[in-house]
Structure 1
Amino acid sequence: MAKRVPLSTVQIGATALDQTDQTMEMIRGMLSESPAETEFGLDIGKAVIQFKSGKPGTIRPKATAGRTNEGNRPTFALMDEVHHWVGSNGGPDFFQTLKRNIEKTTSAGSRWVTTTNAYNPNEDSVAQRIHESDMVRQAFWLYDCIEGDIQPEELRDEAKVRIALAQAYGDATWADIDGLTRTILFDRTTPDSTYLRFFFNAIAESSDGWMSKAEWAACQDDDDPIRPGDQIALGFDGSIRGDATGLIGCRLRDGKLFVLGLWENPRDPKQPDWEVDVLAVEAAVQKAFSTYRVEWMYADPPYWQENIGRWALQHNERGQDHVFEFWTNKPTRMTQAIERFRTAVMVRDLRHDGDEDLTRHVLNAATREVPQGTLITKDSPRSKRKIDLAVCAVLAFEARADAIADGRLQIKRKRVVGF
């Protein structure tokens, strides 16, 4: 039940002030049709609602600028559209600031509420963090959501779509169920995952798949196998425990990808302390250099900088470098490499040998938009669906391009001829 709160301060939070307009307009509309101005002496301004007398108490919008909001003492905070509150716009920090300010005065009745659509599991938004938190699991926080009961493959079934829409919209009698049904059935310009999230309140696990199965299968080439002595480039992405470690080769003359090693956590309860076999990885790298003519290698450095430095020294031939660091956490360079790889798949300027692990990792990859372009990521931060070989493939294909640009495709093995 609502109760009077002394020194009331209400904050409407969003990622941008424009996003608070809808909520503020609704508040102003309701107050203007009530005794708020005459009996309670409220000044219903466009930016701030406050008392005409100047006594404490306001309703005002707030945008994501965490440090400037530190130390405020709101009695109520509404955080709007928190599926858009992501790391790139400071949303998680803003959420923590507002929540922390509220928690200091909960004994006096302060509370917070968030509103959201179904989140994109690729983005690690505030909505996702709340949904997956132990506070929700243990019922300390109330998470209220009505989802339409429908599966992705049922989005072409008119009867099921209509029933699921009625479930999701509940008593929202203003919703145009007929129009929404028509849109879902016949408008193919919108991804199904978007319909699931925004029309049915369903969290679509593979909402932004990077590669379709058909596209990837079209690049499979079972002819012309990789042979010892072929000129290749290498891509390496390493981990220690959580993620997988992989090594991919890419033949220079035709861009054919093949797997040289995968060390993946088996998630076996009998092996809780599993770690990547570093010696096995070292052996695989050395075997690659001894079996093929490795012209260029890109390796993601975290956890493996010492090893990569040693490989660079070992495989420096006559002053010519073959091993280079490639930081995948630098978005400008990584988005460009991913775009080139994706384009090569689309025009079939890339090949692979159909390796099941590589295919699995490529099809597991989802996309995440950043200001620099498109990155690939797991479908959610806690997902067990690994994508490390996909990252290795991108690095190997990029290494191939740079090796060719450096003129190394024309390098021939020298032979000593005796008389």
Structure 2
Amino acid sequence: MAVLIVPELDDQPWPTLGPQMVSFIEDRCVFGPGSLAGRQAALDAEKKAALYRLYEVYPAGHRLAGRRRFKRGGIEWRKGLAKTEFAAWVSFCELHPEAPARCDGFDANGNPVGRPVMFPYIPMMATSEEQVSELAYGVLKYVVEEGPDADLFDSGLDRIIRLGARGQNEGQVVPVSNAPNSRDGALTTFQCFDEPHRLYLPNQKNAHETMTANLEKRVLEDPWSLYTSTAGQPGQNSIQEDLRKEAEDIDKGLIDDPQMFFFARWAGPEHKDLTTLDLRVAAISEATGPIGEYGPGQFESIARQWDRKGADKSYLERVWLNRWQKSAAQAFDLDKWKTLARPDQKIPDGAFVTIGFDGARFRDATAFVVTDIETGLQMGGKDLLWEQDPKVEDWEVDEDEVTAKLEELMKRFNVWKLYGDPPHWTETMGSWSAKYPDQVEEWWTARKTPMSYAVRAFTEGIDAGIITHTGAEDYTRHIGNAGRRDLRILDDQGQPLWTLGKIELDRKFDQAMAGVLSWKACLDARKSGAKPRRKKRSVIRRLR
């Protein structure tokens, strides 16, 4: 059974408000929109177990007695297991004026006694305002309006207010999309991130950082964050991917006294073969866990989606088997790419290298990648990358800064060739070529056939492990962002050729393109038997 639960259960269980929370949810909540809409809430064993862990507190006698054990909780379950409903129910308890959501001391048996949160402030974040209303916030709004305690709240599309005895505002929930600055200064007591595998853009991650920093302002209310998600696409650097990496580090013992509880379940490697209906049903069953089918034939119905013509099987595997899976639209195998990282290595000064250059001046990004001809080690990353700030509409790359970086590379290394895509940099590359006539070469990526063969060579280099890289996160992100665009052209073996393109509008991959050009130049250098150029020495003439 493939599960990741960290921290592991201790021999001596921690005190927890979980039993009280379970009772409160099943007594005061209802199901959200769907087949069970409006019926009394019921928690399966796995959700109860998650609540028990999420609401663990330090025991009596401890210096932090009664305080929450975890500042963050991460749930990563497959699609269709009511994660969003779970998040809404937890949020309901964090808002409710009678819910036992915080510890108010211990009884004679050492069990924690619950109390409501005082004046709660709860932001709920999703990728857009529309999705906020459709996801956890929308479910919470329904639960508030249709449950037995509707008179305790005033709900709307932009906030849900907890009403006091005189009808005054005693706390609220607000939906959040992508505006970190507007949340600066918020006195947060709890916050929810629904489907954080979709939150990967810089402004979204900035919002997340701002919101997380706000948790320290209400220390008396013991604030925390909940993340409910399905597995995402590796390499997007999403908030969920960061959580998953941290959970894996906790599992490896690399983090002492972890501040996060994380629970993931997925179909393990023994379910790699998905060629038959029965094999897929077994994989879906494992990814689901002990809760089983919600209705007769549910697993078979899901499994038959693989047989649909044109189905994106990578997507199906990711959402129904909860596996971190490369999208069929992604150009490169990111898992393989990560195994080629050599963070302890660098290209030495004076090395014989090639450079790739690609990008746009007024949108997206611009990047260099350097390749050591002898070893195949590539260097990319932040120092060789300029990306558009999403908050700046009239963004433009600083041409002088890019030229200065090229001159730095030319001085630092022995450069055989720079292959650069010229459309957005025609005049600039012209000036580079005038200064470095034997080294700067225009290489048009719009030429479908040559470009597709260059991409194939890069892919083969990754697959064979002859390309390595220094492990720069930004370069890896661009590799993961690169999409595959199939052509109606076959190679010499009758296989379809393809080039690079965007998976989504906001996912930049220019450094991946620069990496392809740098590798192409490296292969050309090897093929031609290129030798390092001798550095010119200055000659001092004597005056007679």
Q: TM-score, normalised by structure 1?
A: 0.59
Q: CA deviation at 1:133?
A: 2.1
Q: Which residue of 183, 189, 192 corresponds with 2:305? A: 183
Change (3 A) 1:5 1:95: same
Q: Which residue of 355, 367, 371 corresponds with 2:505? A: 371
Q: Which residue of 113, 118, 121 corresponds with 1:9? A: 121
Q: Which residue of 318, 322, 343 corresponds with 1:201? A: 322
Q: Which residue of 91, 98, 118 corresponds with 2:231? A: 118
Structure-2 residue corresponding to 1:166: 285
Q: Which residue of 387, 393, 400 corresponds with 2:519? A: 393
| Structure 2 Cα separation of the partners of residues 389 and 358 of structure 1 | 15
Residues 96-107 of structure 1 correspond to what in structure 2 (within 5 A)?
96-107=209-220
Structure-2 residue corresponding to 1:283: none
Q: CA deviation at 1:360?
A: 3.9
Q: Aligned letter for 1:84?
A: R
Q: Deviations over 1:143-199 (max 9, x none)?
A: 111112256851213222101112223327447312210012x13524433222111
Change (3 A) 1:396 1:202: same
Structure-1 residue corresponding to 2:411: 306
**Unaligned 5+ residue runs, structure 1?**
213-238, 251-257, 266-297, 327-333, 379-386, 400-419
Alpha-carbon RMSD: 4.7
Change (3 A) 1:389 1:101: closer
| Structure 2 Cα separation of the partners of residues 163 and 36 of structure 1 | 41
Change (3 A) 1:57 1:192: same
Q: Secondary structure at the match of 1:130?
A: helix
| Structure 1 Cα separation of the partners of residues 190 and 145 of structure 2 | 21
Change (3 A) 1:63 1:182: same
Change (3 A) 1:118 1:65: same
Kindly indicate whether residue 154 of structure 2 is the aligned counterpart of residue 59 of structure 1.
no
Q: Deviations over 1:177-228 (max 9, x none)?
A: 12210012x135244332221111111268655269xxxxxxxxxxxxxxxx
Change (3 A) 1:308 1:249: closer
Q: CA deviation at 1:19?
A: 1.3
Q: CA deviation at 1:69?
A: 1.0
Change (3 A) 1:301 1:80: farther
Q: Secondary structure at the match of 1:50?
A: strand
Q: CA deviation at 1:65?
A: 1.5
| Structure 1 Cα separation of the partners of residues 161 and 455 of structure 2 | 63
Change (3 A) 1:126 1:199: same
Structure-1 residue corresponding to 2:437: 321
| Structure 1 Cα separation of the partners of residues 409 and 504 of structure 2 | 26
Q: CA deviation at 1:30?
A: 1.5
Residues 129-278 of structure 1 correspond to what in structure 2 (within 5 A)?
129-133=242-246, 136-137=250-251, 138=255, 139-150=258-269, 153-170=272-289, 171=291, 173-174=293-294, 176-184=298-306, 186-187=307-308, 189-204=310-325, 209-210=330-331, 242=345, 247=353, 260-264=373-377
Change (3 A) 1:325 1:309: farther
**Count of paired positions:** 308
Contact 1:299/1:325 (CA < 8 Å) preserved in 2?
no
Structure-2 residue corresponding to 1:236: none
Kindly indicate whether residue 191 of structure 2 is the aligned counterpart of residue 77 of structure 1.
yes
| Structure 2 Cα separation of the partners of residues 318 and 64 of structure 1 | 45
Change (3 A) 1:398 1:190: farther
Q: Secondary structure at the match of 1:78?
A: strand
Kindly indicate whether residue 156 of structure 2 is the aligned counterpart of residue 45 of structure 1.
yes
Change (3 A) 1:151 1:242: farther
Change (3 A) 1:126 1:62: same
Q: Which residue of 113, 130, 149 corresponds with 1:18? A: 130
| Structure 2 Cα separation of the partners of residues 195 and 29 of structure 1 | 29
Q: Aligned letter for 2:160?
A: I
Q: Secondary structure at the match of 1:203?
A: coil
| Structure 2 Cα separation of the partners of residues 116 and 353 of structure 1 | 33
| Structure 2 Cα separation of the partners of residues 98 and 74 of structure 1 | 8
- Identity across matched positions, percent: 13
| Structure 2 Cα separation of the partners of residues 108 and 349 of structure 1 | 57
